[in-house]
Structure 1
Amino acid sequence: MAKITPKEVWELVKLLRIDVFYFLATLSTSLPGIALNQLMQDKYCINKYPVNESVCLNLETAGPEFDTVRNDVLKDTTTLKMHITLMTTIPAIVLSLILGYWMDKYPGHLRYLLGSASLANICQNIMTIHQCLHFEMGADSLLWTNLVPVFTGSGIIISIGTFTYATRKTPVKFRAVRFMILEIILFATFPISSLVGGGVLASKPWFPNQHRNYIGVYIISSVIAVIAAIWVMLLLYDAVDDEVETVESHLKGDASSSDNNGTKKKTVKQIIYDIIKPDNFLHSSRTVFKRRPNNAHWYLISTILVGIIANIGYSGDQHIGYQFSQKVYHFSAEQIGYYGSIVVIFPTLGTLIGPPLFINVMNLHDTSLAIIGIVSIMTAYLTKGFILSPIAYFFTIFGSFAAVISLADRSIISRMIHKDEIGQVYAFSSAIGGFSPTIASVFYSKVFTATLDYNPGLVYIIAGLLFTIPLANAILLNIKKQKWDLVLIAEKETQENQVELPIHNK
């Protein structure tokens, strides 16, 4: 293991400007999660079903005589969330390919793209606040509040932009730690958004004639988004600078640097055409599917594809977690916010402890880290599916290392590709991964609504078994790592050259 000098540690600290933005932007988007779920349910219950308003506002604790209404409201809400996912993710597939090329070719535009993504979230919040003020509007009309994020690609800009910048600016020996920091930041937003979002929602409404304080949640979210936009546009000034020199970059020429320099001379019209030209849709695909030494392209393709399956399984709580907690555990919005902020501590600690422990201390490969994460989440999901008791809500401790799956996958992919392919491969991965929330939403929504009345935990059992496919791929990558890992290949070549030099000198 290469020794990290104090100067290199300081360079890593300087990189954390993007991390602050990632925290603020992610917090802004996740904060309204509980409020949106509750707003959907309240609109459906109060506007659609002939029951007393007080019953709708305490539906999770209503008596057994209201089971039919409760189940119908939960099904309606789950279906609407599925439609929102379909609406937002399908266009993201095309936008991912455009944005990946854009960020690779014009890195100086990155801070403006990230800033615009936060501003798009503000527009969405304003449209939702309008729906709160006009509560009589149907719950289905909430679907149209997602138009701005759909057309701007705000969600994928934040993720692709953050990880592209972090990968380009981080030496290879820091990358697992770098991605760990980003995952910790992501998980840090969960308890904050649960506590603040649930607490503000349960507080006295800031505006009259409101059933709950939905608007207060969206105002706080918008303020955070404004701070995120200002932060990134003012401070992320070095995205256009050359990326750090990496071990794997020696395996390929740096001709792309001269190409990037040439882009500075183009007019605005030429830049726009260069970004949206049809060939860009194929360019990222060619980068992924092109032949690589030792047939390493097959390992890259398999890792991207099984990543879809892993994301499908991992994103379950986003689609049905709220409704599952109300149906099985009878938790209120405030309880979900409070308890959710507690259980998320375990995967956060797992993300904090896992990579340094397994990679830096135990010297395990990134693929071993992925295996540990997959086994962890399989155990958590199967336990949650079989034990339908409130105590099982806290069995999240079994999934403490689940979050390391995504950072391990990113680190693995970064070791398979060259530095001038980073944005394109991440963009392709995000584009293909754009199908995963769509598939996950349909899968979780359909299975959950179909089994809601007799076995609501079945969906988690099926999801847990899905992870056997990513587990098999991670084991194969671990066995064959000398064929695809550019870092290990470069280190081996260096060692062989050092052995040959004394022989030639003789």
Structure 2
Amino acid sequence: MLDKLFKCKPSEIFKLLSILRVDLYVTLYYIGFSIPMVILSQLVQDKYCINTLGVEVSKCVRLESLGPEFEDIKNSVLTYSTTFAVYDRLTTASPGIILSLFFGHWVDTYPNHIKYLLALPALGGCLSLVTTILNVYYFKAHINHLLWRSIPYALTGGALIVMSGSYTYVARTTQPKYRAVRFAVLDLALFLASPVATAVTGKLLTIKPWLPDQPRNYLIVLFVSFVCYLIGLIWILVFVNDQFESAKDSSDNV
């Protein structure tokens, strides 16, 4: 699809850029979604190592570089981290079947209001980040409280709704000659989100922690993710008008 993007005339590219509104939302959402995924496993390991096993913070933050005498602790931490990831995934993915039915019904009943459905995952992301930030701020809280972060994702559809809704939105609001190019832009946004999030997170974690009792600067990472979700939520609600774009495209085809 990307080869069609490079073959477009400058005037066509400018017109295409003027309607790339939902595409920016998808980019913001997936960067906000990917950033916590980068640190979640490390956060679980730190909380389990420090709070549950009672190991010193200085040792937990460099556990992978410690000698063979800490092998049992390493195995225990990695085992728990893997188990936690399974529970987290099940909590997030379980409502997917019901939400898929709801999404199909919404699109059929309110075809010109897909943006409200797309806004739900960003709202869920904000709520999930608030829960995670509280778990970081109260670092001594039980590690299982981190599972609460999965509930907002599960109830608002998460990435499933963003993927399905954005492609449906593009198909409904884009002229046929631009449709393949817009799908290529969406694919590019999905492709770039993960490496961008990984690079940003790696840089932010090296900054000195904001709070004295924190092993790493998780707060600034989660704050950046929250801002991405919040900007995306405002953007999709204020600047995306699916009714207007559909009418505009119809008039262009006359």
TM bracket, shorter-chain basis: 0.7 to 0.9
Any residues of structure 2 matched to 1:74-473 within 5 Å, and which?
A: 74-172=78-176, 174-239=178-243, 241=246
Closer, same or farther: CA 103–242 of 1 in aligned 2, 3 Å: farther
CA contact (8 A) 1:41 1:73 kept: yes
The change in CA–CA distance for 1:6 and 1:134 in structure 2 (over 3 A counts) is: closer
| Count of aligned pairs between the two proteins | 244
Whole-angstrom CA distance in 2 between matches of 1:208 and 1:120: 29
Tell me the CA shift for residue 6 of structure 1: 6.6
Please, which moves more after superposition, 21-30 or 138-147? 138-147
Q: Aligned partners of 2:228, 2:211: CA distance in 1, in Å? A: 20
SS in 1 for 2:94: helix
1:6–1:43 CA distance, 2 compared to 1 (3 A):
closer
Give the superposition deviation at 1:77. 0.7
Structure 1 distance, partners of 2:71, 2:248, is 58
The match for 1:62 among 52, 63, 66 is 66
Preserved contact between residue 117 and residue 153 of structure 1 (Cα < 8 Å) = yes
**Residue 27 in structure 1 maps to residue 31 in structure 2:** yes
Q: Give the letter aligned to residue 178 of structure 1.
A: R
Partner of 2:18: 14
Shift of 1:180: 2.2
CA contact (8 A) 1:33 1:197 kept: no
The verdict on how the C-alpha distance between 1:131 and 1:4 changes in structure 2, with shifts beyond 3 A counting, is: closer
Report the AA paired with residue 195 of structure 2. Answer: P
Any conservation in 1 of the 2:48–2:143 contact (CA below 8 Å)? yes
Could you give the per-residue CA deviations for residues 37-90 of structure 1, whole angstroms, max 9, x where no partner exists? 211010111122253332211012111222222122112111111111111111
- Structure 1 unpaired stretches of 5+: 246-506
Separation in structure 2 between the aligned mates of residue 219 and residue 5 of structure 1, nearest angstrom: 40
**Deviation of residue 154 (structure 1)?**
3.4
Q: Distance in 2 between matches of 1:48 and 1:107?
A: 50
Compared CA separation, residues 28 and 163, structure 1 to 2 (3 A) = same
Q: Distance in 2 between matches of 1:159 and 1:192?
A: 19
**Which ranges of structure 2 fall in alignment gaps of 5 or more residues?**
none
3-state SS of 1:32 partner: helix
SS of the residue aligned with 2:209?
A: coil
Structure number with bigger Rg? 1
Distance 1:214 1:84 in 2: 19
The question of whether the paired residues in 2 share the 8 Å contact of 1:12 and 1:170 is answered with no
Q: Alignment partner for residue 46 of structure 1, among 39, 43, 50? A: 50
* Residues in 1 aligned to 2:173 and 2:11: alpha-carbon distance in whole angstroms: 15
Instruction: Give the whole-Å Cα distance in 2 for the aligned partners of 1:213 and 1:232.
Output: 30
> Percent same amino acid among aligned pairs?
38
Could you say if the C-alpha distance between residues 206 and 52 of structure 1 is closer, same or farther in structure 2, counting changes exceeding 3 Å?
closer
Partner Cα distance (1:93, 1:103) in 2:
16
Q: Deviations over 1:379-400 (max 9, x none)?
A: xxxxxxxxxxxxxxxxxxxxxx
Deviations 1:320-363 (A, max 9, x none): xxxxxxxxxxxxxxxxxxxxxxxxxxxxxxxxxxxxxxxxxxxx
Cα deviation, residue 168, structure 1: 2.0
**What is the distance in 2 between the residues matched to 1:205 and 1:167?**
45
Moved more, 123-132 or 198-207: 198-207
Deviation at 1:172, TM superposition (A): 4.6
Q: What SS class does the counterpart of residue 113 from structure 2 fall into?
A: helix
Check conservation: 1:200, 1:217, Cα contact below 8 A: yes
- Is the 1:92–1:150 contact (alpha carbons within 8 Å) kept by the matching residues of 2? yes
Query: Which amino acid is the alignment partner of residue 204 of structure 1?
Result: K
Note if contact 2:63-2:74 (Cα within 8 Å) is conserved in structure 1. yes
Distance 2:137 2:224 in 1: 17
Contact 1:168 1:243 in 2 (8 A): no
- TM-score where L is the length of structure 2: 0.86
* 1:123 Cα deviation from its structure 2 partner: 1.0
Deviating more after overlay: 161-170 vs 46-55: 46-55
